[in-house]
Structure 1
Amino acid sequence: MAIIETPVRDATAEAVLFDAIVVGAGMSGLYQLIRLRELGLRALVLEAGTGVGGTWYWNRYPGCRFDSESYSYGYSFDRELLAEWHWSEHFAPQPETERYLNRVADKYDLRRSIRFRSRVTAAAWDEAGLSWTVTTEDGGAFRSRFLITAIGALSSPTMPNFPGMDSFRGQAFHTGLWPKEPVDFAGKRVAVIGTGASGVQTIQEVAKTAAQLTVFQRTPNWCAPLHNATIGAEEMAAIRARYDEIFARCEETFSCFLHTPDSRNTFDVTEEERNAFLEKLYAERGFGIWVGNFKDMLTNREANRVISDFVANKIRQRVKDQRVAELLIPKNHGFGTRRVPLETRYYEVYNQPNVTLVDSRATPITRITPTGIETSDATYDVDIIVYATGFDALRGAFDRIDFRGRDGVTLKQVWDHGATSLVGMLEHGFPNMFMLLGPHTALGNIPRSIEFNVEWVSALLGHMQANGLTRAEAQPAAIAAWMDHVNEVAKGLLSMEVDSWMTGVNINVAGKQVRHVARYTGSAPAYRAWANGIAERGYDGIALT
């Protein structure tokens, strides 16, 4: 494979030729660029925004922060950066994380290889030229040997389609497309539509200053306390001394968090021991109560009822008005079967006189008016509407780009009845295209998955470079075997019975919603073992020519 030291103008395609194009300058795109440079490849990153950061660039809504411990979230590959960076909180807020990723971009001089304000709209494979042509919204055209998507699992915001949305005369924002300029809620009448993770974080902040906050909830979620705290110099020094231990822990746990399921089943212990354990988890930081609970919590219906009842009673204790408390307790899914938002005094918000909860299932929103929101039984005049309506997860960002592989077949066509992949990173019919956070990669504590996937792709590119190979394509039999494994490990999970982005029901397939296994539900170590096995067998299942 020829290494291109400078971009070359391809007269035939009227496009600039690179070795590799990376779509997205978030956490995965930045790290991939570093590794591509180490391979000596000429790389270009195309980024829709005006700065680096991905998730932490676009999501600037009030209260936005990690729900993974900060020191388990940052990059592990750079010892200098680990030694110099001081995380100010156990769960860092968005501005700090954006600063961190800008520090990485500065340290490695990455911006000279990034083209900002360049939203990718299409990418087409040319079999004769063994290259991809990537086009951007502003008319730019670029060719590369390899195409690497770093577009994120939760990066395509979804808006509702209420009548009259364009007529609203106040301010309106989606949490995933928040403006850089501060939004002042003080003394304002604010509506928040949605109570998922971003909605919960927004609500608990807006309630501090808004004159009136009206929350429109369609589906309540099980939330658990974050228990955030600041990190002083002495504690940060102790954390730095444990970084090897911290990252080794993330390497061995089920979801790459510092927490992993307890070795006991729910009914292996007495009721007294069980309650004491649940109380302990509820009082601890982070996701322990979700991913560090009894090992059968997400597979045994009766065990799940125990934890659901426990958390429901906590909500009843924290919310004074029991009618409101019951509205906040999910009735259509058990604890942990959907993503669990972590909160800081979220339930206490509903004790405030300036906060009203509207049950949007009982009284649905019928339209947005010039002055507010109309439901089936009332009208609410507001100054600001916040749409915390989530994302078209996992494959949504892929659907918004016109990917065309061999013979002009689109990725949408291939994924018409649900996405497929080889270890979430390759798809048959799309040679030399690698997906860093494609469907069926191990998610969980995402930066830990990002580092593994970037290094796996980089190792494959290095193997191709060393052996004079120019084309890589996943084979159908290997994809079928991987998908059989993906479906097998999902069996018996209570979460597979629940409508959520984790089961693909946010995707409209052939005009209807079809539940399928939309993510890898096995352990991160099992995922890595499968991917590493492919590499160890000489990239078995990938046609290299």
Structure 2
Amino acid sequence: MSSAPNVLDYDVVIVGGGFSGCYLLKLLRDQGFATVLIEANSRLGGVWSWSCYPGARVDSELPYYGYSDPAIWSTWQWTERFCSYRELRGYFNHVDKVWRLSPDVVYNTKVTRSQWQEDSGTWLISTAEGQQQYRCTWFVPATGTSFKTNVPDLRGKELYQGSMLHSSKWPESGLDFTGKRVAIIGAGSTGVQIMQEAAKKSSRVVQYSKTPNFALPMRQRQISEEEIYHTKSHVPHLFKACRNTRIGLAVTNTGKKTFDVSDEERERIWEENWKRGGFNWSQGGFTDTVFEKEANLAAYNFWRKKTRARITDPAKADVLAPKEPPYWILTKRPSLEQDYFEMCDRPNVELMNSPIEEFTEKGIITRDGQVREFDIIVFCTGYDAVTGGLRTMGIKGRDGIDLNDKWRDGVRTHLGMLVTGFPNMFVAYGPQAPTSLTNGPTFIEIQSEWIAETLSTQREQKLRSIEPKPEAEEAWREACSKIAEATLLSQTNSWYMGSNIPGKPREFLMYLGGIPAWHEACKEALKDWDGFDVRT
């Protein structure tokens, strides 16, 4: 007979060791909360603890993709404008060392169930290992947006005899593309990054995609030690400035509509931001790009002109940058590329937009009847983003209600963090918050600081539990929906809308109002617990 699990008591249990989990662990410990972080992997870093596919790197440039704590950035040196997964792993090792996180982290442990205990006013956290449980007053799932992988249910996958894998399951030892026939399924950010590498080594690459990727130039480059030290005095001012922008990056929009300026001025502004690379073109242009169709089409035509100039094959140019856009530009998260269009232009690369019909032992059959054989098939089909991880953690609130059941017909939160029926649970970097519409670390710091302040206020006021009232939850859901429906983003099928997952409710999954507006709503809510059911 097996013995009953041992139960350890904490004030706070955090699940997930990415940017949110690490910062929350530091903040809460500093404020005297007994806190433990449970991480499924063997290292900190969230998605970067397992992402190691060829070309994997961030799309936020230095120094923004990191913590603003001087103890961290002043003792760390980036070597690239957009760092690779290898450098990010080193960065998280540095964070761990400076903040001394690991003594309060339980590694290689997967949470399978989290149950609110009404009689004791605590959460009971169970793990796959089974011999240990964790009891806490506050529960913080911080699994982020990219946790549950999405692999389409395509006929005959089990028949294929070659190497088949999802980009998130890349072997640490690597996978050699040299001389291989490679299929890349999907053309999101991961598909773009892997294509750029595969095309250089493989004998043949076929990318299967339903729609083209309107990717933007990354302008990646190496950063010298001299440049780092020359700009170090600017860093604290940059971090401070980021907190006051909509997206958490120090990018300045013109404040004007597309047709408020002359054709020459509009072209000059676009050209200037295009040369800067990164998100400067998408965010530093005009205010109406994702609101007005004519403005959006004008932006697309500029993008198309710049992109087609890099492609010599007219047929490929028509696929990658068609005359009529199949969706509104910038209504999917922009991917940043280094030489994607040049790689697509190579003779060993084929672009396939005919849907996949089925797999065979040796390859793929498309709906048009064509058969292609491959040595390696890579699914770059992303994640059940934003909500997928949360809905599979076995989170059960008051009266045993499961979070998966509560969100079956659509997400409901207050401020993108709290959920009615789930007392003292704070979702970090989750749905109905600015989340993936921002530079992650900037938003995460602001959100984590609010969570820490809220817990401290609860402790000071001796409040047993808080949770949002149903009417506050519904009002926040309606506010998120109203903002999204006023934009062209709601007209595009994307993971923003949950449209990449069959059966998932189609709804805009995040808050589009920007960081400052969201933060102001959070601060107002904390003044007098407006919208909360508070129990003593």
Same fold, judged at TM 0.5 (above):
yes
Residue number in structure 2 paired with 1:358: 352
Identify the match of residue 333 of structure 2 among 328, 336, 339: 339
Residue number in structure 1 paired with 2:364: 373
1:293-332 matches, within 5 Å, as 293-329=285-321, 331-332=325-326
Please tell me whether the aligned partners of residues 48 and 88 of structure 2 are also in contact (alpha carbons under 8 angstroms). Answer: yes
Task: Supply the distance in 1 between the matched residues of 2:53 and 2:30 (Cα, whole angstroms).
Answer: 36
Please tell me whether the aligned partners of residues 56 and 190 of structure 2 are also in contact (alpha carbons under 8 angstroms). Answer: yes
Please tell me whether the aligned partners of residues 157 and 177 of structure 1 are also in contact (alpha carbons under 8 angstroms). Answer: no
Alpha carbons of structure 1 residues 65 and 178: separation in structure 2 relative to 1, 3 Å: same
Please tell me whether the aligned partners of residues 418 and 518 of structure 1 are also in contact (alpha carbons under 8 angstroms). Answer: no
Identify the match of residue 524 of structure 1 among 511, 515, 520: 515
1:252-331 matches, within 5 Å, as 252-329=244-321, 331=325
Identity score, percent: 33
Alpha carbons of structure 1 residues 286 and 149: separation in structure 2 relative to 1, 3 Å: same
Task: Supply the distance in 2 between the matched residues of 1:158 and 1:412 (Cα, whole angstroms).
Answer: 17
Residue number in structure 2 paired with 1:7: none
Please tell me whether the aligned partners of residues 81 and 220 of structure 2 are also in contact (alpha carbons under 8 angstroms). Answer: yes
Residue number in structure 2 paired with 1:56: 48
SS of the aligned residue for 2:64 comes to: helix
1:39-438 matches, within 5 Å, as 39-76=31-68, 78-139=69-130, 140-329=132-321, 331-359=325-353, 363-376=354-367, 377-438=369-430
Q: Offset of 1:166 from its aligned partner? A: 2.4
SS of the aligned residue for 1:25 comes to: coil
Residue number in structure 2 paired with 1:487: 481
Task: Supply the distance in 2 between the matched residues of 1:544 and 1:235 (Cα, whole angstroms).
Answer: 54
Task: Supply the distance in 1 between the matched residues of 2:21 and 2:231 (Cα, whole angstroms).
Answer: 27
Q: Which amino acid aligns with 2:86?
A: P
Task: Supply the distance in 1 between the matched residues of 2:265 and 2:152 (Cα, whole angstroms).
Answer: 45
* Residues 21-30 or 279-288, more deviating: 279-288
Gaps of 5+ in 2: none
Q: Offset of 1:138 from its aligned partner? A: 2.3
Please tell me whether the aligned partners of residues 243 and 443 of structure 2 are also in contact (alpha carbons under 8 angstroms). Answer: no
Q: Which amino acid aligns with 2:479?
A: H
Q: Which amino acid aligns with 1:61?
A: Y
Residue number in structure 1 paired with 2:470: 476
* Residues 401-410 or 206-215, more deviating: 206-215
Task: Supply the distance in 2 between the matched residues of 1:544 and 1:308 (Cα, whole angstroms).
Answer: 53
* Residues 180-189 or 404-413, more deviating: 180-189
Alpha carbons of structure 1 residues 429 and 507: separation in structure 2 relative to 1, 3 Å: farther
Task: Supply the distance in 2 between the matched residues of 1:458 and 1:350 (Cα, whole angstroms).
Answer: 47
Please tell me whether the aligned partners of residues 477 and 541 of structure 1 are also in contact (alpha carbons under 8 angstroms). Answer: no
Residue number in structure 1 paired with 2:490: 496
SS of the aligned residue for 2:446 comes to: helix
Aligned residues: 528
Would you say 1:456 and 2:447 are equivalent positions?
no
Q: Which amino acid aligns with 1:470?
A: R
Task: Supply the distance in 2 between the matched residues of 1:488 and 1:379 (Cα, whole angstroms).
Answer: 46
Q: Offset of 1:48 from its aligned partner? A: 1.2
Gaps of 5+ in 1: 1-10
TM-score, with structure 1 as normaliser: 0.93
TM-score, with structure 2 as normaliser: 0.95
Please tell me whether the aligned partners of residues 71 and 239 of structure 1 are also in contact (alpha carbons under 8 angstroms). Answer: no
Q: Which amino acid aligns with 1:503?
A: M
Task: Supply the distance in 2 between the matched residues of 1:325 and 1:401 (Cα, whole angstroms).
Answer: 44
Task: Supply the distance in 2 between the matched residues of 1:62 and 1:73 (Cα, whole angstroms).
Answer: 20
RMSD between aligned residues: 1.8
Alpha carbons of structure 1 residues 459 and 225: separation in structure 2 relative to 1, 3 Å: same
* Residues 40-49 or 492-501, more deviating: 40-49
Q: Offset of 1:239 from its aligned partner? A: 2.6
Residue number in structure 1 paired with 2:29: 37
Alpha carbons of structure 1 residues 177 and 260: separation in structure 2 relative to 1, 3 Å: farther
Q: Offset of 1:216 from its aligned partner? A: 1.1
Please tell me whether the aligned partners of residues 338 and 500 of structure 1 are also in contact (alpha carbons under 8 angstroms). Answer: yes
Task: Supply the distance in 2 between the matched residues of 1:366 and 1:507 (Cα, whole angstroms).
Answer: 18
Q: Offset of 1:470 from its aligned partner? A: 2.6
